[in-house]
Amino acid sequence: MKILVRNKIINFNDFITALKTQIRVIYALILREIITRYGRENLGFLWLFLEPVIFVAGVVILFTKFRADRGAAHFFIPIATIIFTGWLSNKLWMTSSSRVMTAIEANIGLFYHRLVRPLDVYFARIILEIVALTGTFMILSVILVSIHIINSPASYFHIVSGWYLMAWFTIAFSLIISGLNTLTNNILQRIWSPINLGLFIASGTFFLVEWIPPQFRPYILLLPQVHNLEMIRYGFLGNYMHPYYNVMYSVCANIFLMLLGLMLVKLSAKKLEIE
């Protein structure tokens, strides 16, 4: 079987071999990133999970004594569940988009190897963040549910589906930011912190879409990550909330953003080659 890649017809087996090679390259880059960031001694790799666990657990426990009254409904939604789901879910793309901005400078010496490309370095950092925060999400979910700080899941399907779509969005969004940062000669990196924080807050980290006045909801729902977060929260809260999400919109947005991200990374890679 033959397939067309970059206007060249290659054997399918050769394609699979090349794909396996790039997967090994990305795996090696992930291991290098872990060692560089956390070291070989003490907690090492475990700190990858413990760092966000300790931070998020502290924030959640701090807010457990507060409850949000839903007015006419005459019952309460636990703020801990809102904070837990919003903080960790949006941290996926927030942290990853910041990490990829420094990926090229931190790994510049590796590009002398023929098999290492900018896209591999980006993927290594993005995957590492997704794995770390997914592990944190699973660990904290079990702990906080078992001690009755957050709601027991009402729908695992919605939680898993929403998290998958959020991880996909994280990859696409991070590739876009990395490409734009390179194309703007790192100008974006200098102003990204306030922009990133603003998006983090506007993406529903601390609120449900139903709390927003109806006239403003369409603007909030333009953000794909809001749809994903609403799915995750509905998986925990069930009938305690009225979810606002559109799976088809989220999928189409992710496809578009992924293609845009890959295009920008390709353009930025050409710019790096020229430099």
Summarised one tens digit per residue, pLDDT across range 1-32 is: 555 555 555 666 777 887 788 889 888 888 88
Facing residues of 5 across strands? 8
In the structure, what pLDDT confidence band is assigned to residue 195 with cuts at 50, 70 and 90?
very high
Please state, rounded to an integer, the average pLDDT across all residues of the chain.
84
In the structure, what pLDDT confidence band is assigned to residue 52 with cuts at 50, 70 and 90?
low
Summarised one tens digit per residue, pLDDT across range 142-155 is: 988 888 878 789 99
Q: Is the pLDDT reported for residue 188 higher than 60?
A: yes
Give the separation between CA 181 and CA 183, rounded to whole angstroms: 6
* DSSP H or E run through 28: helix 12-38
Taking the CB of residue 252, how many other CB atoms lie within 10 A of it?
Answer: 12
pLDDT for the residue numbered 180: 93
Question: What token pair was written down for 95?
Answer: 């942290």
Summarised one tens digit per residue, pLDDT across range 85-123 is: 998 999 999 999 999 998 888 888 787 777 888 889 999
Q: Is the pLDDT reported for residue 134 higher than 80?
A: yes
Residue 44: left if φ>0, alpha if ψ -120 to 50, beta else—which one?
A: left
For the chain, percent of residues with pLDDT exceeding 90: 47
Residue 166 sits at the vertex; the CA angle it makes with 143 and 100, to the nearest 5 degrees, is 100
pLDDT for the residue numbered 64: 58
pLDDT for the residue numbered 239: 87
In the structure, what pLDDT confidence band is assigned to residue 72 with cuts at 50, 70 and 90?
very low
- The number of CA neighbours under 13 Å toward the Cβ of 162 is 27
Mean pLDDT of 172-181: 95
